Chain A
Amino acid sequence: MAIEVEVSTRDRVTVVTVAGEIDGGSAPGLQARILPLLQQDSSLILDLRSVTYMSSAGLRVLLLLYRQAMSRNGRVALAGVAETIKDTMAVTGFLKFFAVADTVDQALTTLQQA
Chain B
Amino acid sequence: MDTRIDFYPTHQHQGYKLRPGRPVLFGATLVPGGVNFAICSRYATSCTLVLFEKGAPEPMVEIPFPDSFRIGNTWCMVVFDLDYERTEYGYRMDGPWDPAAGHRFDASKILLDPYAKAIGGRDVWGKPPDWNDPYPHRARLIFEDFDWEDDRPLEKPLEDLVVYELHTRSFTRHPSAGVKHPGTYAGIIAKIPYLNELGVNCVELMPIFEFDEFENSRPNPVTGETMYNYWGYSTVGFFAPKTGYAATGPFGMQVDEFKNLVKELHRNGIEVILDVVFNHTAEGNEQGPTLSFRGIDNQTYYMLTPEGYYFNFSGCGNTLNCNNPVVRMMVLDCLRYWAAEYHIDGFRFDLAAILGRDPWGAPLPNPPLLESLAFDPVLAKCKLIAEAWDAGGLYQVGSFPAYGRWAEWNGKYRDDIRRFLKGDEGMVPVIAERIQGSPDLYGWNKRGPTASINFITCHDGFTLYDQFAYNHKHNEANGEQNRDGGDDNHSWNCGVEGETDDTEVNALRKRMIKNALAILLMSHGVPMILMGDEVGRTQRGNNNTYCHDNDLNWFDWTLLERNADLFHFARQMIALRKTHPLLRTREHFGTSATQADIIWHGTQAWNADWSPGSRTLACMFRERQAGQAGNTSPVLYMALNGYWDALPFELPELPVNYRWHLFANTALPAPHDIYEPGHETPLEPYQHSFLVGGRAVVILIGRP
Contact = CB atoms under 8 A, between A and B. Distances in A.
Interface stretch (B169-177, B256-264, B605-613): B256-264
A93 interface: yes
Contacts of B247: 87, 91
Contacts of A60: 143, 145
B256 A56 contact: yes
A92 interface: yes
A51 interface: no
Contact of A97 (B147, B253, B263): B147
14 contacts: A24-B85, A25-B86, A55-B85, A56-B253, A57-B84, A57-B85, A59-B256, A60-B145, A63-B147, A91-B185, A91-B247, A92-B257, A93-B256, A93-B260
A91 B85 contact: no
Interface residues of A, number: 17
B263 A56 contact: no
The 6 closest A-B pairs by CB, nearest first: A93-B260, A92-B256, A24-B85, A91-B186, A24-B83, A92-B257
Interface of A is mostly: helix
Interface of B is mostly: loop
A75 B435 CA distance: 56
Contact of A93 (B85, B251, B263): B263
Select the residue from A59, A60, A67, A88 with max chain B CB neighbours within 10 A.
Answer: A88
Given A24-B84, A56-B256, A91 B248 contact: yes
B84 A93 contact: no
B156 interface: no
Given A60-B143, A97-B147, A88 B84 contact: no
Interface in B162-217: 180-181, 185-186, 189
A94 B83 CA distance: 22
Given A24-B85, A97-B147, A56 B259 contact: no
Contacts of A56: 85, 143, 251-253, 256
A23 B84 CA distance: 10
Interface string A21-45: 0011100000000000000000000
Contacts of B186: 91
A31 to B, nearest CB: 14
Interface of B: 83-86, 143, 145-147, 180-181, 185-186, 189, 247-248, 251-253, 256-257, 259-260, 263-264
B85 A23 contact: yes
Nearest to A66: B147
Nearest to A55: B85
A16 B185 CA distance: 33
B147 A93 contact: yes
Contacts of B259: 93
Given A23-B85, A60-B143, A91-B248, 11 more contacts: A24-B84, A25-B83, A25-B86, A55-B252, A87-B180, A91-B247, A91-B253, A92-B256, A93-B146, A93-B256, A93-B260
Nearest to B259: A93
Given A93-B259, A97-B147, A88 B253 contact: yes
A63 to B, nearest CB: 6
A91 B181 contact: yes
A24 B147 contact: no
Interface in A71-94: 87-88, 91-94
Nearest to A25: B83
A88 B83 CA distance: 21
Given A25-B83, A93-B263, A88 B147 contact: no
Nearest to A24: B85
A23 B251 CA distance: 11
Contacts of A88: 248, 251, 253
